[in-house]
Each structure stands twice: as structure tokens, then as C-alpha cells.
């Protein structure tokens, strides 16, 4: 009997909010969103795996599939931008917006896969290419409509692994929102799926806030000019895409609370004047130093997002829909980031830059309009960029469709730049789960340095 191909499509459908529940609505972009408007910005790919032992194709098609479509439809009633499209006008006088009109939808693919579920959900190095089969790689084509360009922004793929489990892969244009926004959407969808209605979700009082309370007209104008919206061409607008084949591998590393505390203690001993020492900065510093040691590069740029919601003046609601993050960046010569001294150097750089951003008397938005090129001009071009996806503040392992907590979550987007992800662990929110993508050769060196380095702090 011939074996299955890696992926077999079972159904492709379009899921919209229930009829007559969402009138035509639009959401103008704020400067936080416009930052991700150019096609050079990578889309966001993430993937959830769920154990579902002994699940059959019949049960998947007859029970799971209809429930997911129904619950998604009910959820879109409250999260209409996920079913909408990005609308870009060729003028600086009219902001781009996310617009929903009757008939808009989320494209959903249901598929069957014969890859090894246990291998995919492990922590050991695994080929990145395997995961690309489980997410929507493309969002669809931009089209010209009247006097604007319409761009798809969200897509889902649900994959069935016979007798093992289910994966849910999502791809979104970054203008749709940051990690906090997509988490709120997933929290709503999983709640509706568990209970069969949206009543429990509505009772929780966590409806998204669509008011554009982020209001900085000068920054809007600055970022629209940089995006060059007047030259947008629907035939040429293409978001970055993951390529195959690739020699990249991804692995997951867990830093237990006891290990993090030992690292923090060592930092406090070696850098007693460092004001900002957190679990996040210590973990990122350690991982950055190990990455630097695994590569033969000259200069490294490290960057991560800081949620601005509660840090703006006045603060904005935690359920604000959209992007509300700014980047914190630091750069150093690779030679200064290796070894035990390299760990301390990395933590010091990250901690000092973050502390400066959070405590600046002019507020967290100071310098937000500065071009990244200005940093490079002052410090030299980096040969490696390490970006952080995710945040430990979001409890991704609490997202339960009714099948139990996820077995594994992966930020597939980190494949774009061989970067990292940081999340809280399934077993304990006090532990950190670090996803790392490197070439196979670099990963061998990284694994060795990661474990050898921790032994010095036992």
C-alpha cells in the first residue's frame, strides 16, 4: 500500500461571523501598526499541538471539524478584524485600515499529516522544514479595488495526526496585532469551543477594545511616509515567505526557576550596580551569549518587544486591540559576548537598555521615531540579528479547546532570522521555555555551550 504524502488536504473552507452579527466595520491603523505595513515585515506564524490519543479521521471530520468552524465563527463576531482585510490608500491623507464587510472570511484548511507527532512535539533539534507543512505559508494575493489596495491578513490550518493529535497553525500579517492581541483572540476561541457558545466568553468581560486610544498624529505621518503608501503596487506587494528546503533546525530549552535564580544570583554578585535584573533579561542574556559563541560573526544585534499598554501616559486598556509594542535594541561585538564574561556583558547590555527605556523621564515613546539605521551608523552594521518572539506573560499553555492544554507551542516565525522565542512553560509558569532556530552546525555548538555553561552555576 502506497504511503501518504506528508500532507493531505481534507477540506478548505471560508469561515465568517454569523450572518447579520457584524455590520461593515473598519479599524484605522495607529503608528504601532503602520510600522509593520511594508512587505519587508515578516508575517507571524505560530503553531499549537494538542494530544488526542486514538482520534480517528471519522471523529475528526464529523465532530472536531464542525465544532472548530462553529466556534471560530462565533469568535469572529467579537474579533471582526481577523476576518477582515488590510485596506491601503495611495495617499498620506487617509490612514490604512482593517476593514470588514459582509462576505469577508478567514480561510481555513483542514488536513491530515503522516509526520511523527512525538518528534514534532519534542524539545530536541528538529528540521524546521517539517513545521512549514503545518502552517499557512501565504496569506493570499493583494488586489486592487477601486482607489485602494486590499491585502489578506489572517489564515488558519488545522492538521489531524491519526491516533495521535491535532495541530492548529495560524498565520497573520503583523499589522493585525501583537502577541497580546492574538492571545486574546485564541483565549476567546478556545473558550467558545469548550462551551459551545460565546456566553462564557462574554461573561468574562474581556472583549477587545477597538477605540484608537493610541493617538500620535505626527508619528502616524512619519511611519506612513516611511511605508511609502503612495507607491503601493498590488502586483508587487509580497510579504516575506519561509523557504524550503532549509538546513535550519529548531530546539527547545527549559530554564527552570531554580536555574534562573542561580543565574540572577551570579549576575548580582558580578554586576552589583546593575539596576535591572529580571528573569527575562537574565534568560535572554544567557541565550544570546550562547548564540554568539555558536557563530563566527563580527557584531550582534539583540532586539525584543516591550508592551507599552500600561506604560503609556495615561495607560491604555490591557485588551486594546492591535499592536502596542516598541523595540528595545542593543548591539555588541561578538567577541565580547562569548564565555562567562560574555554572559555578563549580554545581561548588562540588555538590562541597562531596558531600564533606560522604562524609566526615561520623557516616557517610553522617546526615540520611537528613530530609524534603526541611526543605531547602525553609530555602532556599525550587525552581521547577526537575534530577535525575540513571545513573552512569558502570556499563558499559551492554558489555551484549551476541550482536549486539554497544548502539548507544545512553537513560534514558527523565528525561522526567518534564526532567532529565539521566550514563553512560560506548560509544567510551571515559573519556568521559561526558550525556542532557538539555528543551522544544524550552529545548533550543535549551541547545545554544548548551553549545557556546559549551566554546569558552572550548579
Active-site residue list: 174, 400
Q: Are 328 and 366 a contacting pair, CB within 8 Å?
A: no
Q: How far is it, in rounded angstroms, from Cα 45 to Cα 413?
A: 5
Residues with Cβ within 8 Å of 115's Cβ and at least 6 positions away in sequence, in order, are 6, 130, 133, 161
Cα distances (angstroms) measured from residue 195 to each of 48, 189, 191, 401, 403: 20, 10, 6, 9, 12
Q: Are 208 and 78 a contacting pair, CB within 8 Å?
A: yes
Q: Are 435 and 443 a contacting pair, CB within 8 Å?
A: no
Residues with Cβ within 8 Å of 218's Cβ and at least 6 positions away in sequence, in order, are none
Q: What are phi and psi of 422, to 5 degrees?
A: -130, 125
Residues with Cβ within 8 Å of 448's Cβ and at least 6 positions away in sequence, in order, are none
Q: How far is it, in rounded angstroms, from Cα 54 to Cα 162?
A: 7
Q: Which of 29, 25, 145 is nearest to 78 (CA)?
A: 25
Q: Are 232 and 90 a contacting pair, CB within 8 Å?
A: yes
| Residue carrying the nine cell digits 502616524 | 220
Q: What is the largest CA-CA distance in the chain?
A: 70
Q: Which of 123, 117, 144, 109 is nearest to 52 (CA)?
A: 117
Q: How many Cβ atoms from other residues are within 10 Å of residue 277's Cβ?
A: 18
Question: What do you get for the CA distance between the two ends of the chain, in Å?
Answer: 53
Angle at 404 between CA 119 and CA 200, to 5 degrees: 145
Amino acid at each position: 500500500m502506497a504511503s501518504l504524502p506528508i500532507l493531505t488536504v481534507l477540506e478548505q473552507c471560508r469561515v465568517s461571523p454569523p450572518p447579520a452579527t457584524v455590520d461593515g466595520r473598519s479599524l484605522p491603523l495607529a503608528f504601532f501598526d503602520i510600522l509593520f505595513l511594508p512587505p519587508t515585515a515578516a508575517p507571524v506564524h505560530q503553531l499549537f499541538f494538542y494530544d488526542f490519543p486514538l482520534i480517528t479521521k471519522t471523529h475528526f471530520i464529523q465532530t472536531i471539524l464542525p465544532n472548530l468552524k462553529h466556534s471560530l465563527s462565533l469568535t469572529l463576531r467579537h474579533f471582526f478584524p481577523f476576518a477582515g482585510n488590510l485596506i491601503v490608500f495611495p495617499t498620506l491623507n487617509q490612514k490604512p485600515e482593517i476593514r470588514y464587510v459582509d462576505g469577508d472570511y478567514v480561510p481555513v484548511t483542514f488536513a491530515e499529516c503522516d509526520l511523527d507527532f512525538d518528534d514534532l512535539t519534542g524539545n530536541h533539534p528538529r528540521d524546521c522544514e517539517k513545521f512549514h507543512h503545518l502552517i499557512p505559508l501565504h496569506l493570499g494575493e493583494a488586489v486592487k479595488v477601486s482607489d485602494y489596495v486590499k491585502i489578506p491578513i489572517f489564515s488558519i490550518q488545522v492538521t489531524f495526526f491519526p491516533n495521535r493529535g491535532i495541530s492548529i497553525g495560524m498565520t497573520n500579517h503583523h499589522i493585525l496585532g501583537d502577541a497580546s492581541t492574538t492571545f486574546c483572540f485564541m483565549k476567546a476561541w478556545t473558550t467558545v469551543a469548550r462551551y459551545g457558545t460565546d456566553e462564557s466568553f462574554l461573561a468574562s468581560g474581556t472583549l477587545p477594545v477597538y477605540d484608537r486610544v493610541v493617538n500620535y498624529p505626527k508619528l502616524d505621518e512619519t511611519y506612513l511616509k516611511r511605508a511609502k503608501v503612495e507607491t503601493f503596487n498590488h502586483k508587487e506587494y509580497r510579504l516575506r515567505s519561509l523557504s524550503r528546503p532549509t538546513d535550519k533546525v529548531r530546539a527547545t530549552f527549559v530554564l527552570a526557576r531554580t536555574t534562573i535564580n542561580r543565574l540572577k544570583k551570579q549576575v548580582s554578585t558580578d554586576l552589583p550596580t546593575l539596576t535591572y535584573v529580571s528573569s527575562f533579561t537574565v534568560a535572554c542574556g544567557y541565550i544570546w551569549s550562547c548564540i554568539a559563541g555558536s557563530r563566527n560573526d563580527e557584531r550582534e544585534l539583540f532586539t525584543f518587544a516591550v508592551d507599552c499598554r500600561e506604560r503609556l501616559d495615561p495607560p491604555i486598556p490591557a485588551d486594546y486591540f492591535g499592536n502596542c509594542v516598541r523595540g528595545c535594541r542593543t548591539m555588541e561585538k561578538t567577541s565580547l559576548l562569548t564565555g562567562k564574561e560574555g554572559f555578563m556583558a549580554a545581561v548588562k547590555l540588555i538590562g541597562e537598555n531596558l531600564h533606560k527605556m522604562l524609566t526615561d523621564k520623557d516616557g517610553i515613546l522617546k526615540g520611537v521615531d528613530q530609524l534603526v539605521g541611526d543605531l547602525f551608523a553609530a555602532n556599525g552594521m550587525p552581521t547577526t540579528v537575534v530577535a525575540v518572539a513571545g513573552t512569558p506573560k502570556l499563558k499559551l499553555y492554558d489555551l484549551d479547546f476541550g482536549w486539554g492544554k497544548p502539548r507544545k507551542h512553537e513560534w514558527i516565525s523565528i525561522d526567518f532570522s534564526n532567532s529565539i522565542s521566550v514563553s512560560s512553560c506548560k509544567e510551571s509558569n515559573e519556568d521559561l521555555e526558550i525556542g532557538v532556530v539555528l543551522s544544524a552546525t550552529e545548533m550543535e555548538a549551541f547545545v554544548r555551550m548551553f549545557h556546559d555553561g549551566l554546569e558552572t552555576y550548579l
